Amino acid sequence: MADDTDHSDLRARQASREASGWMIRLQDAPDDVVLRQEFDDWRSKPVNAVAWEETQRMMRAVAAASPRHASSWGPFLKQARTGADNGATPDEGQMRRTPSSAGRGIGDAARKPAPLGRPNRRRALGLAALAAAASILAVVAAPELALHLQADYATATSETRTLRLADDSVVTVAPASAIAVSYSDGARQVRLLSGEVYVEAMSDAARPFLVSADDLRVTVLGTAFNVSQSDDGAEVAVAYGVVRVEQDSGAEPVADVLTAGEFVRVSQSGAIQRGQQPASQIGAWRQNQLIAQDQPLGEVLDRLRRYHAGAIVLTDRSLADQPVTGVYDLGKPVAALRAIARSQNAVVREITPWLLIVSRS
């Protein structure tokens, strides 16, 4: 019986790889009748049909995923498209040439408008370049650009950075994270814009040390603690000392005083979870460890994504709320992802080395 099960699993994995290959081949040659017939023959086998449906469902999930901070680049993209519809070119409006350069090396004939019915090739190329640039900015560059415009310090995938601030406080910035720092006579403030930080704050009663993550505020007077945020919410955990955690905007206000080993986690929905863990485990990512204790799978994957150069896509939202407990090696993010998936009876499919799909088995 075990041999039959192993053989079935092996065939299913092979069918999954073949389905990904068929998707690429069919996209490359959509009108190839012979290729289509070969594909239909392949899909006629039940195990292949199941693999194909799963691949289609995963691709729909990937296509439906929207980039973060869409509100930041959306207006720009809309303006670019509107300009194209109105016939605006890069030489018009805000991108007009300076008087000193206008007309330089351009003959009168070149400055005459193109006759109606004859598209201006240079204008068309300019519009195409503008549209392409806007699209690339929207999908790829804008989320990072939005963060870097606000951040004083930012890290790349798998990169950590330790900073000694002006008052000798030390902030360790986790991979794929960004912070803004503001010091004044009356306060010291660090804003966590994305990701996770571990803070060792120097005591100064005259200048409170403040850390914010979205609407969550942390006030300290000489302590070490960890703050993280993701699309699912934010968490504060104290390694030693005392902090005050506040949030007024949720359905249930937060006003907690935390000591060593205590944490509070606030989800985007407003749900609040309080608990304790060994103080030695707080900020374990600094030793390349991901330690989860009954944490939702979605939050665990958000942390793991900071260590993987590609995309990790979760196709089944019901999996996102499943609790995960365990210790995983962040130095091997793909192996860690597979171990996490196994604990939930889920599977990881490698479409490319840069695209990993997590779904129910």
DSSP letter string over 141-192?
IHHHHHHHHH-SEE--TT--EEEE-TTS-EEEEPTT-EEEEEE-SS-EEEEE
Domains in the chain: boundaries: 2-64, 156-283, 288-361
Residue 88's pLDDT band, with cuts at 50, 70 and 90, is very low
Question: Closest by alpha carbon to 239, among 227, 257, 222, 224?
Answer: 224
Q: Determine contact, residues 319/274, Cβ cutoff 8 Å.
A: no
User: 156-283 with 288-361: one CATH topology?
Assistant: no
The predicted-structure confidence for 228-256, as pLDDT tens digits, reads as follows 998 778 999 999 999 999 998 767 889 89
**pLDDT of the residue at 9:** 66
CA atoms within 13 A on the CB side of 170: 6
Q: How far apart are CA 345 and CA 349, in angstroms?
A: 13
Distance CA 266, CA 243 (A): 16
Q: How far apart are CA 140 and CA 136, in angstroms?
A: 6
User: What's residue 77's pLDDT?
Assistant: 43
Residue type at position 45: K
Split at pLDDT 50, 70, 90, the class of 159 is very high
Instruction: Categorize the per-residue pLDDT at 355 as very low, low, confident or very high, splitting at 50, 70 and 90.
Output: confident
Looking at CATH, the fold of the domain delimited by 288-361 is given as Phage tail protein beta-alpha-beta fold (3.55.50)
Pull the structure tokens for residue 218: 């942390």
Beta bridge partners of 313: 357
% of the chain exceeding 70 in pLDDT: 71
Amino acid at 57: R
Q: What is the DSSP string of 296-340?
A: EHHHHHHHHHTT-SSEEEE--HHHHTSEEEEEEETTSHHHHHHHH
130-147 pLDDT per residue, tens: 444 444 444 444 556 566
Give 71's Cβ-side CA count (13 Å radius). Answer: 0
Residue with tokens 């000489």: 222
The β-bridge partners of 312 are 356
Mean pLDDT of the residues in the chain: 77
Q: What is the pLDDT of residue 80?
A: 46
The contacts of residue 270 (CB under 8 Å, 6+ apart) are 250, 251, 252
Say how far apart CA 302 and CA 306 lie, in whole Å: 7
Band (pLDDT 50/70/90 cuts) for residue 202 is: very high
**Kind of pairing between the strands at 188-201 and 170-173:** antiparallel
The token duo for 169 is 């406080």
Report the predicted TM-score, pTM, of the whole model to 2 decimal places.
Answer: 0.63
Axis-axis angle for helices 121-136, 70-85 (nearest 10)? 170
For 221-319, where are the E strands, in sequence order?
223-230, 233-240, 243-247, 254-258, 262-267, 272-276, 289-296, 311-314
Q: What architecture does CATH give domain 156-283?
A: Sandwich (2.60)
Close Cβ partners of 260 (under 8 Å, ≥ 6 residues apart): 238, 239, 240, 241, 279
* Distance from C-alpha of 5 to C-alpha of 310, rounded to nearest angstrom: 32
Mapped onto helix, strand or coil, the DSSP state of residue 60 is helix
